[in-house]
Structure formats: C-alpha cells, structure tokens
Copies of this chain bind each other. A is one copy, B any other.
Amino acid sequence: MSEKKIKNIFVEGAISPQFIAESIAKHSSKTEIGGHGIFLGQVRKDKIDENTVAAIEYTAFEDLALEKMHLIREDIFEKYPLTCMHIYQSLGTVKAGEICLFVFTSSAHRKPAIAACEEVVERLKAELPIWGKEIFEDGSHQWKENK
C-alpha cells in the first residue's frame, strides 16, 4: 500500500445530483463498460418521539478511514472484474432529503458491477470510522447508529 495511491472519498456537505450526473457522463468514453451499479445514501427526516431530524453532521477519523477504504478498494478490485469504482462520502452537514453517500462501480457486465456496489456499501458502513450526528429541528441531537 503506497501513500500516493490513497484516493480521497470525502466531500464537504451534500453530494449534488449534478455532481452524480457529471460522474456518470465521464464514463461515456469508457466504452468497455456495460453496466454501472450506483448506491446513494439520502438523509431521512426520521421522527423520534416528538422530534424530527433536520440534518446529519458527519465527522470522520479521516486518515484511518482513507487507509481502510484503500484496503477495501484493493479487495474489491481483486474480487470483481471492475473497470472503475468511485466513492464519495459527505463530511459536515447534510440536510434531510440530500445525498450523503455515492458509491459507483462499473464493469463490462452487470453482475460484478451490482455485486461490487453492494459489497462496498456494506463494508464502508461497517469498517470506516465515520460518525453521523442527527441534528433535530429543535437543535438537540443524537448519534446515529447503523443497522
């Protein structure tokens, strides 16, 4: 694992649909691709008792998260015949209804693209030191827990 190969995954704030469109458009020149698997995480306006989630504020142990992501990336490229893989996770505040996670895997055929996408999402949620703080409309908060 060489330092220079470690790609950043963090973006400040929400991931815009426009950004996603640009990512997709960039792949039109990669004409060996036959299928893209995409997962988008969106902040839910959960109601807890009388309170409603207005936003999630994400923080991370960035260095460790990027190293872990690098290992996951290597595992996934070894396991599936992917053309490419792009991961974007928000840091900071993402409002309810906005996108906080964008996982994008591409392959010549649909099955590896779809399987890799799912596996990256599961591993990212389980293994990356990232924390979401649910900010309620009244200004109080609680720490999110992944299922």
Contacts and interface: CB of A to CB of B under 8 A. Distances in A.
On chain A, which size bracket covers the interface?
Answer: 35 or more
B44 A147 contact: no
Contact of A36 (B28, B29, B39, B109): B39
Copies of this polypeptide in the complex: 2
Contacts of A6: none
Contacts of A28: 42, 97-98
14 contacts: A17-B22, A24-B40, A28-B42, A28-B98, A29-B97, A34-B42, A36-B39, A36-B42, A37-B38, A38-B38, A38-B40, A39-B113, A110-B121, A114-B117
Across the A-B interface, give the 5 residue pairs with the lowest CB-CB distance, nearest first.
A31-B45, A21-B21, A38-B38, A28-B97, A17-B21
